[in-house]
Each structure stands twice: as structure tokens, then as C-alpha cells.
């Protein structure tokens, strides 16, 4: 495996430019040139299709966690019929361990706005919604200001850059529900309803917001669109791991010396991220485990991580996923039972309650975990937990049940001795 | 014709069909809670999971690919599918719990989840005995429970509105009630509140669930979470008898079931009829059950010195005969009723023609603004169209009061004309009024003689609704002169079938001393010396009606039962002989 040259990588989403969040500074540094190019340079961009093809060939894999090719998703939109079409930008970012989109909102909002506008042009979209997590109050205000600035500069609105492309851009604040980060319940929420995920099919491209064709993309995904248009799909593909190309915003948190959001190519070795980028473990402790991409991705033991890189293929080999690349690093003092209880508590609190297995299963998981955490569990409870996860996985409308079940299944199987040590000794004679 | 294979059996189908509904229509079963044939399918209970596959087709030839044994190659969906929102497609292969262990396991798992936070208070729950959760747990559920931690506690005994009470702990969040107010009654009064295992249905803050159709949510609630404020704790369902009938509070002819125990009607629920009321009925119709129990006229009553006293049947018939013999025939007024059945009105008109009186008249009972375009109508009587098709003169209220004032004797079939202010007491001062009544009212109090007749819950008779559909009732309650075990029209309940005489309640006071109007009329005819006027039951009368009156041609009880009512040709008219 060739190692990714991450040390010489120059960040493009969060470049080291002072006040890049201001529209003037952004434009001085080549901002909105990509949008101008797709709207006016008919030689380079013959039509909307050519933009979609470029993005498709760049293989921007969805940064919201599912990892689906963004350009391919765009191509699912039916032909325009004169009615409204929507782009819903998912900035609900609520997964514990994930805080990358926030960085874009506060540091470089225009790179996202520009990407969203390009996407809207490519899919002939009439309105863009950016759905931002309700707790991100300050960032919602920043986004509103950035969008207003872009309106004032003529980047959003009627006949942008003199073309016949017109679009509106709205900010919508969430109200604190994790489930509204699920794409279809986000649409319900945008419509002013309870955030219940919808049954698919019909898929949002056919029947999305208010029953109209809708595409939903993550904030970071759309931000990458800007650089793909500026620098070309080949540039994007040349960065990082082959199957999951391009830069990624890694959100590193936990027991490291320098937690934060880092823009680096995909496929950086996990140990490099911990030891070099985040400058090593706090207080020189030993690494115990890593959750690579937000709380729902399975935890990995330190001894499994040799040579593992942050891309979907390499992580699949050790039984986990890239997710949102929100990496949680845990040192040797971490209590895995406590950690898992906290995760089950989160999913119990956030299950929307629509489907039976998730509504009841998440609560049951937490209650049994609490029992084990308090030293009142028995060995059979561990098997019960594994049984419950089996009963939940793949039997619900959305993936929240799976997201709640995976950490339980994998933390118990990978740290079973720790869990057994917390359980009461069996009182039953074996023979 | 496209085909589908379910549990190894081949079925043909037409059009767009939901898999779960199709399976049920074939007489097979898949357990479910949230699905309802008249509502959308949100697939949220996850109980109806089945294994679904599609045959693989060769892309070029379009032929099915075959394996080495010549069988079609099936591509299975990676996950189990909810059959309620899966549409059938050609060649689809389905395995239910009968043939697939994974499906069986998945259904058992879902039931285990549903039950962990359910109170399991069946012994004190009104739904027990007619509870889909109870029934399906017995059939498909786990045997014990592995849930050894604390259940979620939620509010109980919430008065959602004047007629519906919620026990949130029993709720399994199927959202049928919410979808009912969204999709059927369209008041949007209910929603789910809170999240996860804490959620339950509720109204907006400070709002009442006063939907005119609110009690339908009690019917469709698959557990005991929503109960009727009126009916709850009154009876266990297995002690009651269920008898099909027709709603008499308006002209829609909503199909209903009358639930009785010990000859008291305890509740009314809607009965499915796609052409009339689907699965629904207005709350108003349900409250009518009191009419069948309370304030009933039992034994004839005669006015002596301005006071009504109980009289004997013989005396009553003799009195009517005496009054009729003493007056000129044109001074006798017969008033039919849109509140009475086709058979009763027919008998009245037959009596008038045999005795040489004028044809009966009637007024409709309409209040503008009562209707809602759904199951409520402006016409508040069940059979105005029946009277019209019998050829009765429909007169307006002022005309009727004029006629009554002039008449010497009035024979009034069950219509509360005084209560409705069509007639006043003063107008009837010089008239001898014989009222054939089911219930005491201002009208019956005004009458000089009240002869009790059976109500819709006590006889089999038919009614023509606002759309010209003739439908019929069955006797649900015994009178003093009928016996459930001898009357073939009467339904048997569980206790009738399996219990001894001592297992059943038998309170004589609950049986009303009344006779069907046709028996009363036969006895009167006897008294008046008219021959050949002898009717035993509604079925015989309908046979005579259908063979003599053009609009009712071909109508019989058997056809009405088989076809859930018959639409009459309202263009045909009854030619008066």
C-alpha cells in the first residue's frame, strides 16, 4: 500500500487565509470563479450535464457518512418539468464525535454556498435549503449573514452572472433532534412536520420536499464541488485513497494533545493522524481504542490499527467504517462500559419512536447497559444485548436502529473481558 | 395475468395491490398493527415483515433465468420487507412466517419489543378479547419475557376529549388514530408527542379531541390505549352479543353493530360497508344506543283523567276499535313515519286501504346544516326515502298540523311530532290520538292511547337510505314475547352458544313489553273484523312488498344480506291502487 503524501497537502476548504469568511476576501482569493465559469464559460461547460459528469467522475463520496458518489446521486434527478426542484443541504451534524461542517460554517461559508449554487445549476434547482442543527445558533447567524452577502453581491438571486439561472437560498434551523440529520426526516422537518423518516421508495429524487424532486447533500460534500470545478476532477481523484478520493475534514477529538478539524487527503494512516496531526496522546498515555467516524461506527482496538488508513476499504478490513471521519481517540484509562452506556443513552434519547425495534430496542439497550455499568449486570445480559442488536438491525425504516446497534455489538465483542469483569459472578453451579 | 407466489402457492392478481392486503384477501394471515385498509401505510410497527424476492430475468431475451433444476432463479431482497407497503409485482415470490423461520423469528422479535413497555394489564383492560396485540401475541409472540428492567411510565387516564380517554402506556405508537384525524375526518386534532419510547398521541395544548368522528379512533386502536369514555368498564366483549343493524340517527344508513348483554344495548360500533360508510361512523350515531334501553314504552298506556296509566293489550285494541267505529272514515288520519321501517309503514298503508281510510301522510325530519358531506346528513330520520317509495304523501309541517287538527282520530306511527313542534298539544285537544311508540316522549304523553312497538334493535326490518339503498336490521334484544334461542334471526353470543342458562344474565325487567307494529296491526284488524291481515315477521312483509310494489321489485332479505344492501330504482314509483 502506497502511503498518502499528506504532509505536503495544501488545504482548500479551510485554507490558511485571514478572514476568508468575508465575501470580499473569498472573492479576492478566487472565490465564485467556479460558479462564474459554469454559468458563463459555454466552451468549457456546454450544459448542465457536463457539470454533473465532471462531479460524477471526481467520485466525491458523500461526506455525511454514507459515502455515495455525489455526482451519481445528482444524475438521479428526473428531467426538469418547470415545477419547483429542491436542493437540501444537510448541516444537521449531530452525530457525537462529528464537528466538521461547523468549521465550514464559521471559517469558510462561501466555499459551501458556491458549491451548493453549482449543484443547483447542474440539477436545474429552483430553491436551496440549508438545514443547520439547532444548537449551532452562532453558525446559523453566520450562515444567514454569508447568504445575505452573497445575495447582495449578486451571487444568489435572479440571473446570476447575467445567465438565465436564478435560485433562492434559505437557512432553516433544526430544533435539536438527531434524527433530522436522516435525509428524509430532514425533509419532513423542513416541511414543518415531525421528524419521522420516510419510507423509501419513493426516493427524494422522485418525491422529496413537498413531493417534488429533491437532492440532499452534506455540507462538506457540496464544498468539495467548488474545488472540483476549480481544479478539475482529475486533481480531486489524484488526492488520497483511490476508492475514496479527495480531501477530507477529519474531526479529531478525545485523548489527544491537539484535537480539532484538519483538512487532509483521505487515506491518512490512523496512527499518523493521532501521533503527528494531533500531536500524540495526552499525558503520554497508551492508545486503547478509536471510533473512526462518529459514534455509530464500530470501535476499533488499538492492536487492530496497524497500517490502517482512513478510507473505506482499509477500515472495512478491520470491521468499521469511515462514516463522517469524526475520530474519537481513547486512551488506556477509558472505561469502555461507561463509554458504551453513554452511546446507548444518546441513541435512546434520539430515537424518533416511529419503528418498533428502534423505539423499544434503544431503551432496552440503555437500561441493560446501565445495569451493567452499576455492577448489577450478569453475564447473560451481555448475550441479551447482542440478541437485541440482532433484533434491531435492518428491520426499521431508517438506519438509526443500525447506528444504535453497531456500537453495542462491536464494543461488547471487542472488549468482552472488560464487560464480563463488570458483571456479577454467576451464582449457578456449572456442574 | 400477472402472478405471485406466496408460501409456494401460485396466485393471479390484477392491478396495483398491497402485498399484506392481498395475502389477507386470499384468506391467509400475516400479523400487523399499524396497517389499516382505509388509511395510508406508514410501515412503522414492523410486524408484517416477510421475505420477498423477484425472479431474475435475462436482460437480452427478457426470459426468466433458470437454475440447473429448471427452477426460476430468485433474487431476494437483502432485508425482510414490510408487506403492508410492498406492492405486488409480476413473478414476486413471498415467504411468510408459515414457510420461513427467519420471518417467524423477526415477527416474534418485534412482538417482544412491543410488549416490553406494554403494561400487560389485560385483566383490567377494556380491549381484552378484541385486542389485536393480545391475539397476535398468543399466535406469534414469545413465550416469556427477557425484560428485567423498569418499564417506561407515561400518563394514564387522559381525557383527550368528551368521548375518548387515553392510556399512553398501552399505546404501541401505530399512529392509526393520528392518521385517522389526518386522512379521514381531516380535523388534524391528534399528533404524536415526545420521542422514542416516551412518545404517545395527544392533542395540541389546551385543545380538545372533539372531532365528530372521534370514537372511530377507539375502534381502530389495536390496543386498549384509546377507550370510549362512555363504554369503558361496562362489559367484557366476550359477554356481549353482536348484531348487525343500521344507524337510525340520520339518513346515511351507516352500517352498525349493536352490542347487547342481558337485553341491554351497551354500545354501537360501525360495520364495514364499502358503499356506505367504509369502516367509520359518526359519534352521534353511537350515542343512540340509549334510545334502545331507556325511557321505553312497556305495555300500552291510556290517558284517563289527563293521566297516562298502564293498560292491558286487550283493552288497548278494544279502545282503538271503538274509536274507529264511531267516526266517519274521512275523519281518520294515518301518519306514517320516516323514523319507522319500510315494513311498518307498508303495514300502515295496507291497513288504511283495507279499512277505506285516506293514504297515510308523513313529514320528513330535516334540519339544515346538520349534514357534513361525509356520514352526517341534514335528514335526521333513517327512512324518508322508504316512505316516498311506498307512495306516501309527503306534506310539510303546517299542512300536517292542519290535517291533524281537523281529524277526529289520528293513528300516529312512531314520530315525535310534538317534540319536533310540528304539532302542539292544544291542536290535538279534540282529536283521539293513538300513538304507536317505541319511547316515551312529549308526543306519547299527548296521546290518548300509547301502544308500544318494537324498535330497530328488536325486529328485522328494512330502511331506505338517502342514496336509495335498502338495508335491514336484525333483532338484537329480546322482548317479553321473543326468545333468542328460538328466533333464527337473532345472533348467538359466546355465552348463548357455550354457556348454560345459568351462565347468562337474564333480567326480566330489561325485556320491554312491546310488539312489532305488524303484530299490533294484525290484532287490530282482527278486532275490526278484517280478514286476511296476518303477518308474522318482516321477511313475509318484504316478500309481499317486493311482489306488489314496483320500486321494491326483486328485493328480499336474502339479497340484502348477501349484497350488503340493494340500491333501489328511485325513478320507479308506487302506483296507488
B48 vs A: CB within 8 A: no
The answer to whether B433 and B448 are in contact (CB under 8 A) is yes
**How much of chain A, in percent, has pLDDT values that exceed 70?**
98
- Could you give the CA distance from residue B60 to residue A60 in angstroms, rounded to a whole number? 33
Domain membership flag for residue B196: yes
Say yes or no: B124 and B55 in one domain. no
Asked if the C-beta of B198 comes within 8 angstroms of chain A's C-beta atoms, the answer is: yes
Band of the pLDDT at B497, cuts 50, 70, 90? confident
B197 in contact with A at a CB cutoff of 8 Å?
A: yes
Q: Is A245 left (phi over 0), alpha (psi -120 to 50) or beta?
A: beta
Helix (H), strand (E), coil (C) string for B550-562: HHHCCCCHHHHHH
What residues pair up with A260 in beta bridges, in sequence order?
A252
Selection from A117, A113, A177 nearest residue A142 by Cα: A113
Instruction: Kindly state whether residues B8 and B57 are assigned to the same domain.
Output: yes
Residues of A in contact with B47 (CB under 8 A): 356
CATH number, residue B14: 3.10.20.740
3-state secondary structure of B319: helix
Nearest Cα to B37, choosing from B137, B150, B159, B183? Answer: B183
Q: Is residue B158 part of a domain?
A: yes
Query: What's the CA gap between A367 and A344, in Å, rounded?
Result: 9
Q: Tell me the chain A residues in contact with residue B44 when contact means C-beta distances shorter than 8 Å.
A: 354-356, 397
Residues B86 and B127 in one domain: no
- Nine cell digits for residue A298: 464500530
pLDDT over 60 at B379, yes or no: yes
Name B464's bridge partners: B470
The reply to whether residue B198 touches residue A354, judged by beta carbons under 8 angstroms, is no
Contact A367 B197 (CB under 8 A): no
Helix, strand, coil shares of chain B, percent, nearest 5, are 30, 20, 50
Place of cell 477500515: A315
Please name the helix (run of DSSP H) or strand (run of DSSP E) that holds residue A62, with its range, or none: none
Q: Would you state the cell numbers that stand for residue A41, as one nine-digit string? A: 464559460
pLDDT for residue A430 is more than 80: no
Q: Are strands B566-567 and B409-413 parallel, antiparallel or unpaired?
A: unpaired
The band of A1, judged by pLDDT with boundaries at 50, 70 and 90, is very low
The residue in chain A having the minimum alpha-carbon distance to the alpha carbon of residue B107 is A391
For residue range B149-198, what is the model confidence (pLDDT) as tens digits? 999 999 999 999 999 999 999 999 999 999 999 999 999 999 999 999 99
pTM: 0.93
On whether both B74 and B134 belong to a single domain, the answer is no
pLDDT tens sequence across B289-347: 999 999 999 999 999 988 899 999 999 999 999 999 889 999 999 999 999 999 999 99
Q: Give the closest residue to B437 by CA, choosing from B460, B463, B410, B464.
A: B410
Pairing of strands B432-437, B449-452: parallel
- Whether B46 has its CB under 8 Å from any CB of chain A: the answer is yes
User: CA A195 from chain center: how many Å?
Assistant: 18
Interface test with A, best of B141, B195, B199 (most A CBs within 10 A): B195
Place of cell 339518513: B251
- The predicted pLDDT at position A326 comes to 95
d(CA A361, CA A348): 8
Q: In whole angstroms, what is the distance from residue A134 CA to residue A189 CA?
A: 12
**Model confidence pLDDT, tens digit, residues B433-475:** 999 999 999 999 999 999 999 999 999 999 999 999 999 999 9
Distance CA B518, CA B534 (A): 8
Q: What is the pLDDT of residue B577?
A: 46
Same domain, residue pair B135 and B25: no
The range of the structural domain enclosing residue B141 comes to 117-228
**Same domain? B208 vs B349:** no
Which chain B residue shows the shortest CA-CA distance from A371?
Answer: B149
Whether B98 and B138 map to the same domain: the answer is no
Provide, as residue numbers in chain B, all residues whose Cβ is less than 8 Å from the Cβ of A423: none
Chosen domain end from B228, B251, B276: B228
Interface test with B, best of A192, A199, A360 (most B CBs within 10 A): A360
Q: Which pLDDT does position B576 carry in this prediction?
A: 54
Q: How far is B31 from chain A (nearest CA, A)?
A: 14
Task: Say whether pLDDT at B489 is over 50.
Answer: yes
B121 and B27 together in one domain: no
Question: Starting from the edge strand earliest in sequence, which strands make up the sheet with B566-567, in order?
Answer: B462-464, B469-472, B566-567
Nearest to A356 among B46, B192, B194 (CB): B46
pLDDT band at B487 (very low <50, low <70, confident <90, very high): confident
* Contact between chains at A360 and B197 (C-beta distance less than 8 A): yes
**Neighboring chain A residues of B113 at a CB cutoff of 8 Å:** 356-357, 359-361, 364, 391
Q: Looking at residue A425, what DSSP letter applies?
A: P
Contact B455, B440 (CB under 8 A): no
Query: Percentage of residues in chain B with pLDDT exceeding 70?
Result: 99
Per the CB < 8 Å rule, is A352 touching B195? Answer: yes
Q: What is the distance between the alpha carbons of residues B490 and B242, in angstroms, rounded to a whole number?
A: 10
Question: B228, B244, B265: which is the final residue of a domain?
Answer: B228
SS3 of chain A: helix, strand, coil, percent, to 5: 45, 15, 40
How many Å apart are CA A254 and CA A291, to the nearest integer? 10
Beta carbons of B79 and A394 less than 8 Å apart: yes
**pLDDT over 90 at B574, yes or no:** no
**Cβ atoms of residues B459 and B435 within 8 Å:** no
- Whether B150 has its CB under 8 Å from any CB of chain A: the answer is yes
Q: What pLDDT, in 10s, does the model give residues B6-15?
A: 999 999 999 9
User: Residue B41: exposed, middle, or buried by beta-carbon count in 10 A (0-12, 13-18, 19+)?
Assistant: buried
How confident is the model over A307-321, as pLDDT tens digits? 999 999 999 999 999
Interchain contact, B197 vs A362, CB within 8 Å: yes
Q: For residue B293, tell me if it sits in a domain.
A: no
- H-run or E-run covering A422: helix A416-422
From chain A, pick out residues whose CB is under 8 angstroms from the CB of B106.
391, 395
CA B312 to CA A351: how far, in whole Å?
71
Q: Tell me: the pLDDT tens digits for A379-406? A: 999 999 999 999 999 999 999 999 999 9
Nearest by CB: B113 against A196, A361, A384 = A361
Per CB-CB distance under 8 Å, the chain B contacts of A395 are 46, 49, 79-80, 106, 109-110
B52 lies within 8 A of chain A by CB: no
Q: How far apart are CA A132 and CA B310, in angstroms?
A: 79
Name the E strands within B430-549. 432-437, 449-452, 462-464, 469-472
pLDDT band at B575 (very low <50, low <70, confident <90, very high): low
> Which chain A residue has its CA at the smallest distance from B115's CA?
A360
Domain-embedded: residue B520: yes
**Residue B569: is its pLDDT beyond 90?**
no
The predicted-structure confidence for A168-210, as pLDDT tens digits, reads as follows 999 999 999 999 999 999 999 999 999 999 999 899 999 999 9
Nearest to A360 among B116, B146, B150 (CB): B116
User: Pairing state of beta strands B409-413 and B255-261?
Assistant: unpaired
Task: Supply the DSSP string of B163-180, one letter for each residue.
Answer: SEEE-TTT-----HHHHH
- CB A356 to CB B45 under 8 A? yes
Locate A374 and state its grid cell.
Answer: 452499576
Quote ipTM for the complex. Answer: 0.93
DSSP state of A269: B
B204 neighbourhood in chain A, CB within 8 Å: none
Looking at the complex, does the CB of residue B110 fall below 8 Å from at least one CB of chain A? Answer: yes
Question: Which residues in B lie closer than 8 A to residue A405 (C-beta atoms)?
Answer: none
For residue B110, what are the CA distances in angstroms to B48, B51, B149, B284, B340? 9, 15, 18, 37, 51
Strands B432-437 and A168-173: unpaired
In Å, how far from its chain's centre is CA B421?
A: 30
Angle at CA B97, nearest 5°, toward B63 and B196?
110
Residues B222, B174 contacting (CB under 8 angstroms): yes
CATH assignment of A336-422?
1.20.1440.230
Interface residue of B80, B197, B198, B223 to substitute, partner A, most A CBs within 10 Å: B197
Q: Check whether residue B106 and residue B177 sit in a common domain.
A: no
Alpha helices, H only, A208-335: 219-231, 233-237, 270-272, 312-317
All residues of chain A having their beta carbon less than 8 Å from the beta carbon of residue B51 are none
Residue-level pLDDT at B532:
78
Chain B hits for A352, CB-CB cut-off 8 Å, are 195-196
Residue A24 neighbours by CB distance under 10 Å: 11
Contact (CB<8Å) A356/B172: yes
Asked if the structure places residue B237 within a domain, the reply is no
Residue numbers in A near B112 (CB within 8 A)? 391
Is B152's Cβ below 8 Å from some Cβ in A? yes
Which domain-ending residue is among B75, B92, B111?
B111
Min Cα separation A354/chain B (Å): 6
Interchain contact, A361 vs B195, CB within 8 Å: no
Q: Of the candidates A206, A165, A208, A166, which has an alpha carbon nearest to the alpha carbon of residue A77? A: A206
Q: Which CATH class is domain A31-237?
A: alpha beta
Classify residue B493: in a domain, yes or no.
Answer: no
Q: Do A354 and B42 touch (CB under 8 A)?
A: yes
Q: How many domains does chain B have?
A: 3
Buried b (16+ CB within 10 A) or exposed e, B333-351: bbbbbbbbbbbbbbbbbbb
Together in a domain, B316 and B443: yes
Residue A198 C-alpha, separation from nearest chain B C-alpha, in angstroms: 8
Q: How far is B72 from chain A (nearest CA, A)?
A: 26
CB contact (8 A) between residue A391 and residue B197? no
* Cβ contacts of B298 within 8 Å, gap of 6 or more: B452, B512, B513, B514
For the segment B347-359, the average pLDDT, to the nearest whole number, is 92
DSSP for residue A232: -
Residue B425 lies in a domain: yes
The reply to whether B43 touches chain A by the CB within 8 Å rule is yes
Is B192's Cβ below 8 Å from some Cβ in A? yes
Give the DSSP H or E segment for A429: none
B102 and B131 in a single domain? The answer is: no
Task: Look up residue B341 and give its DSSP letter.
Answer: -
Domain boundaries, chain A: 31-237, 336-422
Other CB atoms within 10 A of residue B298 CB: 15
Neighbours of B279 (CB within 10 A): 20
Q: Do A397 and B43 touch (CB under 8 A)?
A: yes
Instruction: State whether the Cα torsion B466-B470-B471-B475 is positive or negative.
Output: positive
Amino acid at each position: 500500500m502506497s502511503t498518502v503524501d499528506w504532509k505536503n497537502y495544501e488545504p482548500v476548504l479551510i485554507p490558511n487565509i485571514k478572514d476568508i469568511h468575508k465575501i470580499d476576501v473569498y472573492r479576492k482569493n478566487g472565490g465564485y470563479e467556479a460558479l462564474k465559469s459554469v454559468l458563463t464559460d459555454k466552451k468549457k461547460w456546454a450544459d448542465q450535464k457536463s457539470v454533473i459528469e465532471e462531479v460524477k467522475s471526481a467520485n466525491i463520496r458523500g461526506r455525511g457518512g454514507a459515502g455515495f458518489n455525489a455526482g451519481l446521486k445528482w444524475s438521479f434527478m428526473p428531467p426538469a418539468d418547470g415545477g419547483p426542484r429542491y436542493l437540501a443541504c444537510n448541516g444537521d451534524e449531530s452525530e457525537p464525535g462529528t464537528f466538521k461542517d461547523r468549521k465550514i460554517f464559521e471559517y469558510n461559508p462561501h466555499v459551501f454556498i458556491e458549491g451548493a449554487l453549482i449543484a443547483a445549476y447542474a440539477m436545474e434547482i429552483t430553491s436551496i435549503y440549508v438545514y443547520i442543527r439547532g444548537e449551532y445558533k452562532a453558525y446559523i447567524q453566520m450562515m444567514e449573514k454569508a447568504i445575505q452577502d452573497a445575495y447582495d453581491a449578486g451571487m444568489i438571486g435572479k440571473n446570476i452572472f447575467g445567465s438565465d439561472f436564478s435560485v433562492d437560498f434559505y437557512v432553516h434551523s433544526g430544533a435539536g433532534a438527531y434524527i433530522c440529520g436522516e435525509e428524509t426526516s430532514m425533509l419532513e422537518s423542513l416541511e414543518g412536520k415531525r421528524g419521522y423518516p420516510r419510507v423509501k421508495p419513493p426516493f427524494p429524487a422522485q418525491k422529496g420536499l413537498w413531493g417534488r424532486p429533491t437532492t440532499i447533500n452534506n455540507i462538506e460534500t457540496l464544498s468539495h464541488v467548488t474545488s472540483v470545478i476549480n481544479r478539475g476532477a482529475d486533481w480531486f481523484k489524484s488526492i488520497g485513497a483511490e476508492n475514496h478520493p479527495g480531501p477530507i475534514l477529519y474531526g479529531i477529538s478525545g485523548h489527544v494533545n491537539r484535537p480539532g478539524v484538519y483538512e487532509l487527503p483521505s487515506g491518512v494512516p490512523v496512527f499518523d493522524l493521532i501521533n503527528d496531526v494531533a500531536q500524540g496522546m495526552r499525558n503520554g498515555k497508551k492508545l486503547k481504542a478509536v471510533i473512526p467516524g462518529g459514534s455509530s461506527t464500530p470501535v476499533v482496538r488499538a492492536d487492530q490499527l496497524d497500517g490502517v488508513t482512513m478510507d473505506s476499504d482499509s477500515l472495512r478490513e478491520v470491521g468499521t467504517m469511515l462514516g463522517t471521519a469524526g475520530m474519537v481517540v481513547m486512551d488506556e484509562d477509558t472505561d469502555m462500559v461507561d463509554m458504551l452506556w453513554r452511546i446507548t443513552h444518546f441513541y435512546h434519547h434520539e430515537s424518533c419512536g416511529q419503528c418498533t425495534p428502534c423505539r423499544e430496542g434503544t431503551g432496552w439497550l440503555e437500561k441493560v447497559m446501565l445495569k451493567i455499568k452499576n455492577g448489577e449486570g450478569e453475564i447473560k445480559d451481555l448475550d441479551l444485548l447482542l440478541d437485541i442488536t440482532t433484533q434491531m438491525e435492518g428491520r426499521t425504516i431508517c438506519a438509526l436502529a443500525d447506528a444504535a446497534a453497531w456500537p453495542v455489538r462491536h464494543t461488547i465483542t471487542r472488549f468482552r473481558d472488560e464487560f464480563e469483569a463488570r458483571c456479577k459472578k454467576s451464582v449457578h453451579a456449572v456442574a | 395475468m400477472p402472478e405471485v407466489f406466496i408460501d409456494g402457492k401460485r396466485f393471479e392478481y390484477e392491478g396495483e395491490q398491497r402485498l399484506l392486503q392481498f395475502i389477507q384477501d386470499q384468506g391467509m394471515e400475516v400479523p400487523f398493527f399499524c396497517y389499516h385498509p382505509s388509511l395510508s401505510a406508514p410501515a412503522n410497527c414492523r410486524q408484517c415483515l416477510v421475505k420477498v424476492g423477484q425472479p431474475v430475468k435475462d436482460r437480452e431475451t427478457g426470459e426468466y433465468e433458470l437454475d440447473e433444476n429448471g427452477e426460476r432463479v430468485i433474487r431476494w431482497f437483502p432485508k425482510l420487507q414490510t408487506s403492508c407497503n410492498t406492492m405486488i409485482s409480476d413473478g414476486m415470490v413471498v415467504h411468510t412466517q408459515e414457510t420461513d423461520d427467519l420471518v417467524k423469528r423477526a415477527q416474534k422479535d418485534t412482538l417482544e419489543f412491543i410488549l416490553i413497555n406494554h403494561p400487560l394489564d389485560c385483566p383490567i383492560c377494556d380491549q381484552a378479547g378484541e385486542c389485536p396485540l393480545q391475539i397476535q401475541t398468543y399466535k406469534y409472540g414469545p413465550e416469556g419475557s427477557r425484560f428485567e428492567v423498569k418499564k417506561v411510565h407515561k400518563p394514564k387516564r387522559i381525557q383527550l376529549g368528551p368521548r375518548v380517554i387515553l392510556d399512553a402506556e398501552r399505546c404501541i405508537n401505530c399512529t392509526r388514530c393520528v392518521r385517522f384525524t389526518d386522512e379521514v375526518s381531516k380535523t388534524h386534532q391528534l399528533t404524536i408527542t415526545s420521542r422514542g419510547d416516551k412518545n404517545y398521541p395527544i392533542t395540541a395544548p389546551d385543545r380538545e379531541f372533539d372531532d365528530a368522528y372521534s370514537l372511530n379512533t377507539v375502534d381502530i386502536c389495536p390496543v386498549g390505549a384509546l377507550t370510549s369514555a362512555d363504554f369503558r368498564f361496562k362489559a367484557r366483549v366476550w359477554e356481549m352479543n353482536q348484531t348487525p343493524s343500521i344507524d337510525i340517527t340520520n339518513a346515511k344508513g351507516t352500517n352498525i353493530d349493536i352490542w347487547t348483554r342481558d337485553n341491554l344495548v351497551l354500545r354501537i360500533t360501525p360495520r364495514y360497508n364499502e358503499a356506505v360508510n367504509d369502516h367509520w361512523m359518526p359519534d352521534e350515531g353511537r350515542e343512540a344506543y340509549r334510545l334502545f334501553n331507556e325511557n321505553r314504552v312497556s305495555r300500552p298506556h291510556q290517558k284517563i283523567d289527563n293521566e297516562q296509566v298502564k293498560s292491558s293489550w286487550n283493552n288497548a285494541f278494544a279502545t282503538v276499535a271503538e274509536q274507529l267505529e264511531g267516526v266517519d272514515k274521512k275523519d281518520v288520519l294515518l301518519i306514517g313515519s320516516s323514523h319507522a321501517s319500510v315494513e311498518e309503514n307498508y303495514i300502515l298503508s295496507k291497513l288504511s286501504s283495507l279499512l277505506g281510510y285516506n293514504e297515510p301522510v308523513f313529514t320528513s325530519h330535516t334540519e339544515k346544516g346538520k349534514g357534513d358531506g361525509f356520514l352526517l346528513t341534514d335528514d335526521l330520520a333513517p327512512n324518508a326515502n322508504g316512505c316516498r317509495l311506498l307512495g306516501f304523501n309527503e306534506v310539510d309541517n303546517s299542512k300536517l298540523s292542519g290535517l291533524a287538527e281537523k281529524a277526529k282520530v289520528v293513528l300516529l306511527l312512531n314520530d315525535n311530532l310534538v317534540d319536533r313542534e310540528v304539532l302542539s298539544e292544544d291542536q290535538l285537544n279534540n282529536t283521539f290520538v293513538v300513538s304507536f311508540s317505541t319511547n316515551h316522549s312529549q308526543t306519547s304523553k299527548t296521546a290518548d292511547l300509547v301502544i308500544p312497538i318494537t324498535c330497530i334493535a328488536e325486529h328485522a326490518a328494512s330502511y331506505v337510505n338517502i342514496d336509495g339503498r335498502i338495508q335491514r336490521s336484525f333483532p338484537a334484544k329480546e322482548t317479553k314475547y321473543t326468545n333468542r334461542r328460538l328466533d333464527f334471526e337473532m345472533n348467538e353470543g359466546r355465552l348463548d352458544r357455550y354457556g348454560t342458562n345459568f351462565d347468562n344474565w337474564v333480567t326480566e325487567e330489561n325485556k320491554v313489553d312491546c310488539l312489532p307494529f305488524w303484530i299490533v296491526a294484525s290484532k287490530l284488524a282482527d278486532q275490526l273484523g278484517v280478514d286476511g291481515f296476518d303477518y308474522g315477521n318482516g321477511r313475509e312483509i318484504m316478500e309481499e312488498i317486493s311482489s306488489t310494489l314496483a320500486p321494491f321489485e326483486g328485493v328480499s332479505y336474502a339479497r340484502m344480506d348477501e349484497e350488503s344492501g340493494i340500491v333501489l330504482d328511485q325513478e320507479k314509483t308506487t302506483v296507488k291502487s
